[in-house]
Amino acid sequence: MDLNREFHGPNAGYVLELYERYRQDPNSVDAATRAQFARWQPPLESAITPAPPSSNGQTPAVAQTLAAATASQTALGAVRLAAAIRKYGHLAAQIDPLGSEPPGDPLLSLAAHGLDEATLRELPASVVEGPLSAGAANAYEAFVALKEVYCGSIGYDYGHLSLPEERVWLRHVAETGRYHPATDNASRLRLLRRLTQVEGFEKFLHRAFLGKTRFSIEGLDMMVPMLDLILADAFEGGIKTIVMGMAHRGRLNVLAHVLQKPYAQIMAEFKDPVLGNRSA
């Protein structure tokens, strides 16, 4: 295997780091890696005839080696930053309506990884593994897109999954925005009207039937717009009949706004269940 051709970018940085460990202590790596390194030389060490030193006392080979080491550390820093954003990005999300600063995390800063904006603009977007690197001109743009995903108001929790395939799939879904499509103003207004209907009905029930079990939808308002979309997709897919095993929470709101049951009938049955059953 030609390590110089097989590994590049952050992977090459990892190989060089492993090679340095091998040079200091060959037993610190496994037997297969030790055998590979025994017959391999990094490209910057393969010059047979050393060049004369430069004005600062360094030969070109030494200068190149130092530059390669710096580049490797920079690439590794970028990889670690991407991992930190995916793991701790939610701590930097602005979710307080009063505008207080989120707690954040030190590992989310560029300086914590020896990076700055200018350095990231010189790095390829591929150091940020995943679909976001495809549409970015450089690493800085890829990191901006990554923060929009993981430092926004929607959280993604997949690190606890034991199957790597599931983690990779969910990460890809989150970063491609597959289930977070762009919406226009008309769609947002429709959603606002729907949520206003839900909240208005909820407040009316609270005033009219104070102290009674009213199957509140409080905290679950989005269930009604979600059911709207599910039922619309089912209809477009040719489904004719749907049976809902409805939970107590939000039952009256779903009856009124999803199943289009008249308010008067709901109120009559809710106020006097026996009378409501007779009228049915």
For 78-124, write each residue's pLDDT tens digit.
989 999 999 999 999 988 888 889 999 999 999 999 999 999 998 88
Across the range 220-237, mean pLDDT stands at 93
**DSSP letter at 110?**
S
For 139-181, write each residue's pLDDT tens digit.
999 999 999 999 988 888 888 899 999 999 999 999 998 877 7
| 12 pLDDT tier (thresholds 50, 70, 90) | low
- pLDDT at position 37: 78
- pLDDT at position 134: 87
**DSSP letter at 53?**
P
What is the spatial distance between Cα 119 and Cα 135, in angstroms, rounded to a whole number?
Answer: 19
pLDDT at residue 54 tops 80: no
pLDDT at residue 48 tops 50: no
What is the spatial distance between Cα 251 and Cα 224, in angstroms, rounded to a whole number?
Answer: 10
- pLDDT at position 159: 86
- Judge residue 74's burial from the number of C-beta atoms within 10 Å of its C-beta, 0-12 exposed, 13-18 middle, 19 or more buried: buried
What is the spatial distance between Cα 182 and Cα 179, in angstroms, rounded to a whole number?
Answer: 10
What is the spatial distance between Cα 11 and Cα 18, in angstroms, rounded to a whole number?
Answer: 11
What is the spatial distance between Cα 246 and Cα 259, in angstroms, rounded to a whole number?
Answer: 12
| 62 pLDDT tier (thresholds 50, 70, 90) | very low
- pLDDT at position 66: 46
- pLDDT at position 70: 58
Query: Global pTM?
Result: 0.57
Across the range 59-86, mean pLDDT stands at 71
Task: Calculate ∠ Cα 49-54-59, nearest 5°.
Answer: 35
- pLDDT at position 218: 86
- pLDDT at position 277: 54
- Nearest Cα neighbor of 250 from 233, 268, 229, 226 is 226
End-to-end Cα separation, the chain, in angstroms: 79
pLDDT at residue 271 tops 60: yes
Non-local (6+) Cβ contacts of 17 within 8 A are 72, 76
- pLDDT at position 7: 57
Q: Helical H runs in 209-250?
A: 223-236
- Nearest Cα neighbor of 265 from 280, 254, 244 is 280
pLDDT at residue 63 tops 50: no
pLDDT at residue 10 tops 60: no
